[in-house]
Structure 1
Amino acid sequence: MKFLWCTLIVSDIEKSVNFYKDVVGLKVYERFKAGEHEICFMGDGETKIELLCDKKYTVEKRGEGISLGFEVLSAEKAVDILKKKGIEAETKIIQPKPDIKFFFVRDPDGYRIQFVENIK
């Protein structure tokens, strides 16, 4: 069995596509309308995220308990790059053990996005 994608329900497809493209660095693989919904698959390899825009779907605490992790070469450099794009880190850089550092930001719908540096 192979993991294909994770679906995120989003409120504004343009804001979400721009966030995952410009901030995270993912590419758009496929984008289409399906009835009342607009769907966009994005990724940088085999595994993808599916952004599903559903204007009727409202959740007070959207994204609670969900986070997506993306590897970066340097946590410190990633923080600086995000600041230049107007995105503040939600946490300081955390280093729970010697071989990993990470921090979190929020996407336009409040999902937690984790940027992880694996130290070799």
Structure 2
Amino acid sequence: MYSKGWIMMELTMNWITLRVRNLEASLDFYHRILGLPVERRFESRGKQIVMLGIEGQPKLELIEGSDPPVKPECGVSVGFEVASLDKAMAELAKEGIPVARGPIAPNPSLRFFYILDPDGFEVQLAEHM
């Protein structure tokens, strides 16, 4: 067991990176469909990169490149809070995005479901009641 050291006092989550096959398809999913704002878009070492997220909150970094993406079955998922799970499910259905798993209600104050992004990564949408 690790003790709470000095480094934990200074850590702040900055971003989570997903390597994607098609940046435009992933950008359409996370920006247009889920509504994450594009913070910036740039190129680094020949790879296109987009940072998405709300100011002051951790970002989702999408990197398109020749490196193989992490396999979706590795257990990586990204989770977001929504105001209404039912509304989110209805809006996603309009976009033709099926629910992959759920909805699940592990306790009276939480409900969530999963959808898949263009690379097959699980995206959890959760509503706290």
* TM-score (norm. length: structure 2): 0.86
Q: 2:86 aligns with which of 71, 76, 79?
A: 76
Match of 2:121 among 97, 111, 119: 111
Out of 43, 48, 51, which is 2:62 matched to? 51
Deviating more after overlay: 108-117 vs 39-48: 39-48
CA distance in structure 1 between the aligned counterparts of 2:82 and 2:70, rounded to whole angstroms: 31
Q: Secondary structure at the match of 1:15?
A: helix
Q: Percent identity?
A: 36
Give the drift of 1:116. 0.1
Q: Deviations over 1:79-105 (max 9, x none)?
A: 110000110010121101000000000
| Contact kept? 2:72, 2:122, Cα under 8 Å | no
Alpha-carbon shift at residue 35 of structure 1 (Å) = 2.4
Cα displacement (A) at 1:57: 2.0
Aligned with 2:29: secondary structure? helix
Letter of the 1:50 partner, please give it.
Answer: E
Structure with the higher fraction of residues in helix conformation: 2
Greater radius of gyration (CA) = 2
Q: CA RMSD in A?
A: 1.4
TM (norm. structure 1) is 0.92
Does the 8 A contact of 1:24 with 1:70 survive in 2? no
Return the alpha-carbon distance in structure 1 between the equivalents of residues 49 and 36 of structure 2: 15
Q: Distance in 1 between matches of 2:79 and 2:45?
A: 30
